[in-house]
Structure 1
Amino acid sequence: MTAPGVAAAARDADGAVTAPGAAAAAGDADGVVTAPGVAAAPADADAVASAPGAAADEGATATGYSFAALAQRVVDGLGAVRLGPNDRLVLLGHSLGGVVALALAARRRGLPVDAVVGLGIKVAWSPAELAKAEELAARPVTWFGTRDEAARRYLRVSGLAGLFAPDHPVVDAGLRRGDGRWRLAMDPAAFAVGAPRLPALLAAVDVPVLLARGERDPMVTDAQLKELGVPVATLPGLGHNAHVEDPAAVLALLDPYL
């Protein structure tokens, strides 16, 4: 099961664990990245799939992006979820994907979720940050003359510069080509999704939730996560893209729930 920034891990009847991994994030613009063992995802204020028609009480914006609407798109795409008697379904989401994972686990959705792990969710948003997000959402798509230009832009805004070379195949997931030009994959309008209401999201979930962050992640602090009243894990030496820097450390967060 994959979603914008959401990966599912399940243990089957034989005890084997499958977990596509976690998602990479964009910083101040657009993009999506995948890596070996890492599911595709957008960042704190972005999304890949449009979700028009979200109701006002779901936090819908003028662009049609909302956390609940994104979660509903995942539900619609999944169809019926069938698990064996010994299977467990754990959602792992990074950044915005962590918020979507919480929305998916809401009791009203009725999905057989056993636990949620949210990594690198930005909890506190200042008025200036929200205004900047609205500004970014209003910008038109930027086109580049070459793949290399688009790739370098993508790596910079996603915080992945230095982790992947521009010509690495994994960068392809964050790019789109049209009419001989290149752009980043993300729809800039998704920045208008706004700030998540974490206390309300957590109150709507009946399963265990773990919130995690990389020790060097500048987007969220341990103190901010601890204020939410759920278990918190800090991954030493890692940043916002902890799942790219050390996938094994992130997947280990699932172990207590599988």
Structure 2
Amino acid sequence: MSRRSAALASGPYAPPVPEREQTVISADGSRLHAELYGPEDAPAVVLAHGWTCSTAFWAPVLRRLSADHRVVVYDQRGHGRSPAPGPGGYSTEALADDLVAVLDQALPPGRRAVVVGHSLGGMTVMAAAGRPQLRERAAAVVLCSTGAARLVERARVVPLRAGRLRTRVQRAVLGSRAPLGPVNPLGKRVLRYATMGRGAEPAMVEACARIVHACPRIVRAEWAHVLAELDLDARIAELTMPVAVIVGTADRLTPPEHAHALVAGLPRCTGLTELPGLGHMTPVEDPAAVSGVIRGLALAHGQPAEPVVEAAPDAEEQTT
């Protein structure tokens, strides 16, 4: 299955047709595939997807927001239609560079947006927290199904008691370079167990399985190693804009304790939305709830930034 054909072609989990596509160039020259949807003058939203996913992951959210929001989605490096980076191109700083490049190149100058990160996308936002570009361009942030540190230790993918053995096994499983193979009933059962709630419908599982299985195994493993060593706790307090947090109560990859830690550390948290019985794929499992949080922040904070007007020189300066 090619990465371009991974998404479903029809139905609620199929991506809509973008208004246009764009190539964004990051600081190290990496090329990022981006897509733009909706009216140019509408409140802006930027969506950053998670590990092993792609722009197609946001399809149900796009269908709810693109009619009256300017939505920018992009493929993280190595995912979807963004080429894999070269040696040294896998790091949280590279992710921050990529997000800043998208904000600078896919939005008009001075335009602000609600920046939404799911899983690895949320970690991308936290990695960029100290960047002046994020503070200038992000009117608000949504951190969805994500965490800042101790990801492997706190994950509950492997059904063992918390401790060194579970951490060691989970590190090996999540960082494996083994190919996932074609999407089949067994693969979908495993994916559903690890990433979704028990109520996930078959079409939902199929859509996510297609996207995840299309991620190159080397890219999957390289980012898994970055996630295993992740420590962004110090960046949480640097997100000084309004921030909403979303988590599924049955999330095995980033359990609710991560969300609670984020809420405790954020200077301007607007609230925690806990989605009962849902897993890690909350934007697909309950796109209405996730879109509702985004829409609320866009309504309150997502208008275009006021143009910067330089003060005119005073009379003394004019005569010198």
- TM-score bracket relative to the smaller structure: 0.5 to 0.7
Aligned partner (choices 269, 293, 297) of residue 253 of structure 1: 293
RMSD: 4.5
Q: Is residue 2:202 matched to residue 1:164?
A: yes
Aligned CA distance change for structure 1 residues 157 and 12 (closer, same or farther; 3 Å)? same
Q: Is residue 2:248 matched to residue 1:214?
A: yes
Q: Secondary structure at the match of 2:184?
A: helix
> 227-236 or 242-251, which moves further after superposition?
227-236
Residue equivalent to 1:36: 60
TM-score, normalised via structure 2 length: 0.54
Residues 18-33 of structure 1 mapped to structure 2, 5 A cutoff? 19=45, 23=49
* Contact map agreement 2:149 2:232 (CA 8 A) in 1: no
- The aligned amino acid for 1:106 is G
Deviations 1:164-218 (A, max 9, x none): 34894564333339xxxxx769522211113543432124344232333234435
- The aligned amino acid for 2:214 is R
Residue equivalent to 1:176: 214
Query: Larger relative CO (CA 8 A, sep 6+): 1 or 2?
Result: 1
Residue equivalent to 1:91: 115
* Contact map agreement 2:48 2:118 (CA 8 A) in 1: yes
* Contact map agreement 1:107 1:206 (CA 8 A) in 2: no
Give the structure with the larger helix fraction.
2
- The aligned amino acid for 1:101 is V
- The aligned amino acid for 2:234 is A
Residue equivalent to 2:222: 189
Structure 2 residue runs without a partner (length 5+):
1-21, 25-31, 63-72, 154-162, 303-320
Residue equivalent to 2:235: 201
Structure 1 residue runs without a partner (length 5+):
55-63, 178-182
> 213-222 or 153-162, which moves further after superposition?
153-162
Aligned CA distance change for structure 1 residues 17 and 216 (closer, same or farther; 3 Å)? farther
> 95-104 or 74-83, which moves further after superposition?
74-83
* Contact map agreement 2:144 2:246 (CA 8 A) in 1: yes
CA distance in 1 between counterparts of 2:149 and 2:102 reads 31
Aligned residues with identical type, % of pairs:
20
* Contact map agreement 1:120 1:212 (CA 8 A) in 2: yes
Residue equivalent to 1:59: none
Aligned CA distance change for structure 1 residues 69 and 217 (closer, same or farther; 3 Å)? same
Residue equivalent to 2:125: 101
Figure out how many residues of one structure are paired with residues of the other and give that number.
232
* Contact map agreement 2:53 2:212 (CA 8 A) in 1: yes
Residue equivalent to 1:141: 178
TM-score, normalised via structure 1 length: 0.65
Shift of residue 93, structure 1, vs aligned partner: 0.7
Aligned partner (choices 96, 106, 119) of residue 71 of structure 1: 96
Shift of residue 91, structure 1, vs aligned partner: 0.6
CA distance in 2 between counterparts of 1:171 and 1:249 reads 22
Q: Secondary structure at the match of 1:83?
A: coil
* Contact map agreement 2:45 2:114 (CA 8 A) in 1: no
Aligned CA distance change for structure 1 residues 133 and 234 (closer, same or farther; 3 Å)? same
CA distance in 1 between counterparts of 2:126 and 2:39 reads 20
Deviations 1:150-176 (A, max 9, x none): 852545544377333489456433333
